[in-house]
Amino acid sequence: MNAVWHNSLRSLPAPTTVPDSVHDLMILEAVRRRGFPRAPTSSAAPISARQGSSLAKLLREHAYNWNSGNGSTCISEGDVLSLSQDVRVDVIGPMTARLEELRGLWLGEVRKLGYKGSSQPSDLTEDAYEMWCASVPARSAPQVKTIAANRSLRLAEVYTPDASIPNGSSITLIISTGNKRVLFLGDAWAEDVVAKLRPLQTTALPIIFDAIKVSHHGSLHNTSVDLLSVADSPCFLISSDGGRHGHPDFEVLAEIVDRPAPFKRHLFFNYETAASKQLEAHTSRSGTAFSVHVAEHDWIQVG
């Protein structure tokens, strides 16, 4: 259907119509010339820091159905899309406030460079915005210290909430068809997901989805014990080659399989990583059965 959901600067209400000055445009051009951060050299197809335009610019140039229009509206919590064949998409995040926080962070950074404009949508502004968002460093989290050398740490001992505003603005959704439901968590903050899912619980037991795409490649900053108490599934999807930030974290994987459940859990990885190999040798603390699969080029059948 050539439709894309993507929140960019154009998707947020513009605060003013004052055009950027020549000086402002020069600052944005300097940010754009830096380009996107270079992909790790271990990547199969590393992207040059000088390569490409922003996704927003390409969507506009090629006239995609962008956010159900021209990209001028944002996709946020509460949005619903009905597709053919009884497929429904319910957006549970981000909160609009997260997107406004991201724009505020962006404006704060370019103000430091001397930018005095209003971030009016344009190809130049969106290129600079998206390239900067792609390279903004994550806020440092407290370092985890081993309590005892002879035992592994549990997720509750190492979890520290993600504070990355770009991650917090990630689109998260539930796709339903018939009696099947799949939860896609993007890079969302665990606390935001819990706040949206907890009202959907009808009992003290977790909501059972047919599959869950684990947030932020299995980072221990995006999956909490609280989140796993709200959502569970016989199928977990972890997307990461582990090359850039060492994701997924083993503590997250262990917590997923250590919990008791009346079903066997299957964890699917698109690449074999150190954590996935460690999980193969792990025994669930609850005795619940689980399996590990690497499906780099294979389809995964849900349900």
User: CA-CA distance, 169 to 96, in Å (whole number)?
Assistant: 8
Q: C-alpha distances in angstroms, 16 versus 73, 94, 99?
A: 16, 24, 17
What does DSSP say about strands 211-213 and 180-184: parallel, antiparallel, or unpaired?
parallel
Tell me if 126 is assigned to some domain: yes
User: CA-CA distance, 119 to 34, in Å (whole number)?
Assistant: 18
**pLDDT for the residue numbered 139:** 53
Within this chain, do residues 189 and 261 fall inside the same structural domain, yes or no? yes
CB 27, CB 114: distance < 8 Å: yes
Tell me if 161 is assigned to some domain: no
Tell me if 158 is assigned to some domain: no
**pLDDT for the residue numbered 296:** 67
Within this chain, do residues 116 and 200 fall inside the same structural domain, yes or no? no
Residue type present at position 50: R
Within this chain, do residues 217 and 104 fall inside the same structural domain, yes or no? no
User: CA-CA distance, 196 to 171, in Å (whole number)?
Assistant: 13
Tell me if 282 is assigned to some domain: yes
**pLDDT for the residue numbered 105:** 87
User: CA-CA distance, 15 to 145, in Å (whole number)?
Assistant: 45
**pLDDT for the residue numbered 49:** 42
CB 251, CB 276: distance < 8 Å: no
Instruction: Say what the pTM is.
Output: 0.87
Within this chain, do residues 206 and 275 fall inside the same structural domain, yes or no? yes
The percentage of residues in the chain with a pLDDT greater than 70, rounded to a whole number, is 86
Tell me if 22 is assigned to some domain: yes
Tell me if 167 is assigned to some domain: no
Tell me if 159 is assigned to some domain: no
> What are the pLDDT digits (tens) for 142-163?
444 444 444 578 999 999 999 9
CB 291, CB 256: distance < 8 Å: no
Within this chain, do residues 24 and 115 fall inside the same structural domain, yes or no? yes
Element (H, E) at 65: strand 65-66
Place of tokens 């998206």: 130
Within this chain, do residues 106 and 183 fall inside the same structural domain, yes or no? no
Within this chain, do residues 107 and 189 fall inside the same structural domain, yes or no? no
Within this chain, do residues 237 and 123 fall inside the same structural domain, yes or no? no
Within this chain, do residues 122 and 192 fall inside the same structural domain, yes or no? no
Comparing 288 with 138, the larger pLDDT belongs to 288
User: CA-CA distance, 139 to 142, in Å (whole number)?
Assistant: 10
pLDDT at 100 over 60: yes
Within this chain, do residues 101 and 185 fall inside the same structural domain, yes or no? no
Q: What 3-state DSSP class applies to 38?
A: coil
Within this chain, do residues 113 and 229 fall inside the same structural domain, yes or no? no
Within this chain, do residues 121 and 183 fall inside the same structural domain, yes or no? no
Reported confidence tier of residue 80, pLDDT bands at 50, 70, 90: very high
pLDDT at 214 over 60: yes
Reported confidence tier of residue 39, pLDDT bands at 50, 70, 90: low
Domain that holds residue 190: 179-294
234: preceding bond cis by omega (within 30 degrees) = no
What does DSSP say about strands 172-177 and 180-184: parallel, antiparallel, or unpaired?
antiparallel
Domain count, the chain: 2
